[in-house]
Amino acid sequence: MASKHIVVHGQVQGVFFRQSAQDTAGDLGVAGWVRNRDDGSVEMIVEGEDNAVERMIAWAHEGPSQAQVTGVDVTDTDPQGLRSFDQA
């Protein structure tokens, strides 16, 4: 089980990033949450099987078609036992 804290930078608010992240997480079977940050970035916690979490990170580098991702910060975090993926 992997657990990652992800911060996505660029034009990522107002482009359905959070909804697309929630849809992608559902497709991949990962749990966690996503929210907008005051600095214009988007923050996520993603937990699940290693391969699925890595695929979610790869998705975060692109985001939905309207997004313009300029950077992604990923750090390990302790699993919280999350069971769903929500917008915070």
Annotated active-site positions, please?
18, 36
Distances in Å between the Cα of 87 and the Cα atoms of 32, 35, 45, 51 are 9, 6, 11, 22
Cα-Cα end-to-end distance for the chain: 22
**β-pair partners for 47:** 3, 31
